[in-house]
Structure 1
Amino acid sequence: MENTRQLVSSGSPLEPRIGFSRAVRKGPYVAVAGTAPIGEDGTAVAQGDVHAQTVRCLDIAEAALKEAGASLGDVVRTRIMLTDITRWKEAARAHGERFATIRPACTFMEVSRLLDERWLVEVEVDAVLG
């Protein structure tokens, strides 16, 4: 896998249209794209609930990591993008539930909006295997 590029798809119709993958693994590096709180039916989950939306984002990211041969234990950096930074503690609680012992570098930031106005949070994850 050293020089191989592995693309992981979530099945989103936006992937080919925009030209992105849910995750990309190149050697020991795995980058998971901005992950939104989208349910199995393709709609926003837990509208109005930052904690539940963050949990969903992390579930999707974790599944992408697994498909790329990584796990949460390999995560070295996370980025949490919120449409309302005053609600950071709700997202932080979800992050802490997954990463309390792993403790990756983490950044919380406010963005003016996300692609869907029902999304309150989006999460990016970077991992290194080995």
Structure 2
Amino acid sequence: MAVRRDRSESLPDQGFPHSATVAAGVTVFTGGIAPLDADGAVTPPGDVVGQTKQCLSVLEKVLTERGAGLKDIAKLTVHVDGEMKVDLTVAWDAVVEFFGGDVPPTSVVGVTALPLDDQVVEIEAVAAP
């Protein structure tokens, strides 16, 4: 594996890695992954949890096309439209569930707008297969 997920030895254990170390080689940077279905529609409209899972499913397909997988993610950023901390928390919980608890270093941030109607989540990643 080219990516090693590291927990800090000097910070309290928060249940996730604080950083990732990547061996030299190919690096995949994604743009913002929208929660689109096969027809290009936002799905499910306005649903933070559902869109987080849909974005991650689409991300997994994009990474597979580049010879990478979820285990190769060195950095994940989840953008959630809204100022409610509860939305950030449920998005984080959906990420943890999707990864089976083995999440990469992740930032979950609130944004004021996303480009598509009914879109409330967008995800980008850096991976090293």
> Residue 102 of structure 2 corresponds to which residue in structure 1?
102
Q: CA deviation at 1:60?
A: 0.5
Q: CA deviation at 1:34?
A: 0.5
**Separation in structure 1 between the aligned mates of residue 102 and residue 83 of structure 2, nearest angstrom:** 24
Contact 1:85 1:110 in 2 (8 A): yes
| TM-score of the aligned structures, taking structure 2 as reference length | 0.74
**Separation in structure 1 between the aligned mates of residue 121 and residue 90 of structure 2, nearest angstrom:** 10
Contact 1:85 1:109 in 2 (8 A): no
Percent identity between the two aligned chains: 31
Q: CA deviation at 1:98?
A: 2.6
> Residue 61 of structure 1 corresponds to which residue in structure 2?
59
Please report the RMSD computed on the Cα atoms of aligned residues, expressed in angstroms: 1.4
> Residue 121 of structure 1 corresponds to which residue in structure 2?
121
Q: CA deviation at 1:47?
A: 1.1
Contact 2:95 2:103 in 1 (8 A): no
Larger RCO of the pair (alpha carbons < 8 Å, separation 6+) = 2
Equivalent residue runs for 1:21-32 within 5 Å: 27-32=25-30
SS of match in other structure, 1:35: coil
Q: Which amino acid aligns with 1:48?
A: G
Q: CA deviation at 1:100?
A: 4.3
**5+ long unaligned stretches in structure 1:** 1-26
Please state which structure has a larger fraction of its residues in helix. Answer: 1
**Separation in structure 2 between the aligned mates of residue 48 and residue 113 of structure 1, nearest angstrom:** 12
CA gap 1:100/1:56 in 2 versus in 1, 3 angstroms: same
**Separation in structure 2 between the aligned mates of residue 110 and residue 88 of structure 1, nearest angstrom:** 7
Q: Which amino acid aligns with 2:97?
A: E
Q: Which amino acid aligns with 2:111?
A: V
> Residue 42 of structure 1 corresponds to which residue in structure 2?
40
> Residue 75 of structure 1 corresponds to which residue in structure 2?
73
**Separation in structure 2 between the aligned mates of residue 110 and residue 103 of structure 1, nearest angstrom:** 19
Contact 1:55 1:94 in 2 (8 A): yes
**Separation in structure 2 between the aligned mates of residue 122 and residue 74 of structure 1, nearest angstrom:** 19
**Separation in structure 1 between the aligned mates of residue 35 and residue 118 of structure 2, nearest angstrom:** 9
